[in-house]
Amino acid sequence: MNAPSGVLATLLVAIAYLIGAIPFGFLTAKWIKGIDVRTVGSGNIGATNVGRVLGFRFFLLVFALDLAKGLLPTWGFPRLSEWLTGRPAPPDLAVLVALATILGHNFPVYLKFKGGKGVATSLGAFLALDPFAGGAAAAAFVIFLLVCRYVSMSSVGGGAVFFVAHFLRVGDPWSRGERAMTVVTVALLLLLIARHRKNFARIAAGTEPKVSLRKKRKESPSGRIGAAWLLVFAALTVAAVGALAVVKRATKKDVLTVGRYTLSESSRAGTGHQRAERVAFADGGRLLAVTCPRYNRLVLYRVTGEDALEVANDLTLDGKPVAVCAANDRLYVLERPPGDDRHIQPGWWETFDFKGERVGDRVVVGFYPDDMALAPDGQHAYVLTSGRAEGSADRPAPGLDVYPIDGSNSVGRVTFDTPGDDPARLTLSASGLSALVTLPNARVAEAVDLSDRQQPRRIGRTSLTGVDQPYPSRGEGDAIMMPSGSGREAVSLSFAGLGECVASTLPHGSGVELYQAARRKPLGTLVLHGGAFGLGSIRPTGLAFSPERKLLAVANRSGGVHLVAIRPSGAEEVASREMPTGR
């Protein structure tokens, strides 16, 4: 982060600690009854002890205030940073603010660092960081409380549910963008357990007060001891069953059988950069390039003979990668300038060899580049740009430019000047003589004739409304993958006995769907998993096929990449249908 934003972030974290340290329980008891809540009940300044002293309504008041001091700074301070600096907030600012508020509550400077246990403040902070898991934790707390009536046990149970619910949904918990959240989540669960250790001892001794949900009745100490041990046994049983389920899920591979072929995930890797987007095979399927636009990175993987992924290089780019292509012995990466520079500088492409070394100078293209494709002859590149469609009226119109691959100026251009046109993706035909440009705002695909590269021309539009599945279109010795309105990635394959088929990412599903091309008949879905222990779902973002290795590569929104091996059960072969691997 730059110096001004770094100083501001540090200041916001410090303020978050001071807010978290405000002892609302202590102040409420002082103002209402003039007593020091640390000298009565359990001696804790949290909502539970205040409720025992002042009544249930004051429990609700203090709980809400403690929750708010975790929720509001965690949610609001990153937005405040963006408003003050005009730049995106540092990626870990929200996590650091959350941690500061919780530590402030647990160790408040105003009370000589002797505070509460952080249950309500942690819940508020985690509701801001992960609303789904935070909501699950809140629901679990209520359910545990109704069953056991121990606030301490319910608090730890809610924390454990947040832990599980969060990691089930994270693609790669140790990626660069998730690492801080992972460390804080684990550390705070351990802190929550440690802060309640005396409560567990009192539960075992039968002296821990329960929340009264109805008229109190006298219970013998032995009955309390029995209930406590029964609760401990139930918790251990649930933990054991959960651990067995995790091990089973982690060791299981999903397999999709299509005719006489099987598709199974052979390898999964985390890029470490929070989001992976575009993928491209190179070097006969022995190399896989993955763009990571969040942190301006390009990750190169070597694909081993065992169909596994090994990191070969992790490149820092000067701009945000929006497309990657491979031809001969080169990789071409299309980039937008980073940050606000994208509004004042044109984009470019860079060329790399298969080791990740830059080759030659960058080639400057138009403003707001969106996509790139290489002609089958490897001598020309087609670059799609949004121009003034991004909102800058002084920019050129959106267009498709033709460049010699040696890096000279554009030799041909076609513009998209219909109001509302904002091109997003480019699909080249197998021959390279035509292309489809997806215009999502208008929900159409524009066909472009590229037979004369110096004078490309628009030849018609196809509506994408209601088109859910990409499908191959063939005719006059050429073929092209027709895009869908849902933005799915697709590649064309051919299976013996089944004919031409399509492998396509699911727009909201965690996997790849296969269907026959002619009738669009579903053949099945290969479910792909992410997250800790392979328990979470993914959201696919990119798809590529290596006909040489019979491998599919799938990138996901959480920064992971999956390798899927297509293997015949006998002597059959699966082949590419000479179709571009992009949508």
Residue 477 lies in a domain: yes
In a shared domain, residues 540 and 417: yes
In a shared domain, residues 282 and 196: no
Using a pLDDT cut of 90, give the percent of the chain over it. Answer: 47
Lowest mean pLDDT segment, chosen from 13-17, 37-41, 60-64, 201-205? 201-205
pLDDT of residue 50 exceeding 70: yes
Q: How many angstroms separate the CA atoms of 15 and 404, rounded?
A: 55
In a shared domain, residues 196 and 278: no
pLDDT of residue 349 exceeding 90: yes
Contact 78, 128 (CB under 8 A): no
Q: Is the pTM of this model over 0.75?
A: no
In a shared domain, residues 241 and 257: no
Among 248, 281, 305, give the residue marking a domain's end.
248
pLDDT of residue 236: 46
DSSP string, 105-161: HHS-GGGTT-----HHHHHHHHHHH-HHHHHHHHHHHHHHHHHH--HHHHHHHHHHH
Handedness of CA 23, 26, 30, 36 (dihedral sign): negative
> What is the CATH number for 362?
2.130.10.10
In a shared domain, residues 185 and 296: no
Residue 582 lies in a domain: no
Using a pLDDT cut of 70, give the percent of the chain over it. Answer: 86
In a shared domain, residues 237 and 260: no
The tens digit of pLDDT for each residue in 198-243 reads 877 877 777 777 766 554 444 444 444 444 444 444 444 444 444 5
In a shared domain, residues 525 and 506: yes
For the record, the structure tokens of 134 come out as 């935070």
Residue 187 lies in a domain: yes
Q: How confident is the model at residue 121 (pLDDT cuts 50, 70, 90)?
A: very high
Residue 581 lies in a domain: no
Please count the structural domains in the chain: 2
In a shared domain, residues 239 and 257: no
Among 248, 275, 296, give the residue marking a domain's end.
248
Among 215, 248, 281, give the residue marking a domain's end.
248
In a shared domain, residues 394 and 359: yes
Residue 391 lies in a domain: yes
In a shared domain, residues 92 and 48: yes
Looking up tokens 């501001």, which residue turns up? 8
Higher confidence at residue 332 or residue 535? 332
pLDDT of residue 222: 43
Residue 331 lies in a domain: yes
Distances (CA, A) of 337 to 107, 203, 342, 363, 382: 44, 60, 5, 13, 19
pLDDT of residue 52: 81
Residue 347 lies in a domain: yes
In a shared domain, residues 16 and 70: yes
- Return the CA Rg of the chain: 29
The tens digit of pLDDT for each residue in 397-426 reads 999 999 999 877 899 999 998 888 899 999
In a shared domain, residues 240 and 257: no
Structural domain containing residue 70: 3-248
